[in-house]
Amino acid sequence: PTYRIASIPGDGIGVEVLPQGEIVLRAAAERYGFTLRFDRFEFASCDYYLAHGRMLPEDWKEQIGAHDALFFGAVGWPQTVPDHVSLWGSLVQFRREFDQYVSLRPVKLMPGVDAPLKTARDIDFVIVRENTEGEYSQVGGRMFSGTEREIVTQETVMTRVGVDRILRYAFELATRRGTPHVTSATKSNGISITMPYWDERAAAMAAEHPDVAFDKFHIDNLAAQFVLRPDHFDVVVASNLFGDILSDLGPALSGTIGIAPSANINPERRFPSLFEPVHGSAPDIAGKGIANPVGQIWAASMLLDHLGERDAAAAVLRAVEEVLADPAVRTPDLGGTATTETCGRAIADAVR
Ligand code: NAI
Ligand code: MG
pLDDT by residue (tens digit) across 318-337?
999 999 999 999 999 999 99
According to CATH, what is the number of the domain 115-254? 3.40.718.10
DSSP codes, 305-330: HHHT-HHHHHHHHHHHHHHHT-GGG-
Confidence band (pLDDT; 50, 70, 90) for 168?
Answer: very high
* Domains 1-104+257-352 and 115-254 belong to one CATH topology: yes
Atom of ligand 1 nearest to the CA of 285: 11
- DSSP lists the bridge partners of residue 202 as none
Report, as an integer, the average pLDDT of 222-234.
95
User: What distance in angstroms lies between residue 285's CA and the mean position of ligand 1's atoms?
Assistant: 9
Q: For all residues of the chain together, what is the average pLDDT?
A: 95
Can you say whether residue 313 is alpha, beta or left, with left for phi > 0 and alpha for psi between -120 and 50 degrees? alpha
Which residue, judged by its Cα, is nearest atom 10 of ligand 1? 282
Note whether 319 and 350 are within 8 A (CB).
Answer: yes
Distance CA 133, CA 188 (A): 18
The interface predicted TM-score of the complex, written ipTM, equals 0.98
Domain boundaries, the chain: 1-104+257-352, 115-254
Pocket perturbation via mutation, ligand 1, pick of 15, 95, 100, 281 by most ligand atoms within 8 A of CB: 281
pTM for this prediction: 0.94
Structure confidence at residue 137 (pLDDT):
87
Structure confidence at residue 166 (pLDDT):
98
Ligand 1 within 6 A of CB of 343 = no
- Burial class from Cβ neighbours inside 10 Å (0-12, 13-18, 19+) for residue 146 reads exposed
Ligand 1 within 6 A of CB of 342 = no
Which residue, judged by its Cα, is nearest atom 44 of ligand 1? 280
Atom of ligand 1 nearest to the CA of 332: 20
Note whether 247 and 103 are within 8 A (CB).
Answer: yes
Confidence band (pLDDT; 50, 70, 90) for 118?
Answer: confident
Structure confidence at residue 112 (pLDDT):
84
Give, in words, the CATH class of 1-104+257-352: alpha beta
Say whether pLDDT at 31 is over 80.
yes
Note whether 276 and 74 are within 8 A (CB).
Answer: yes
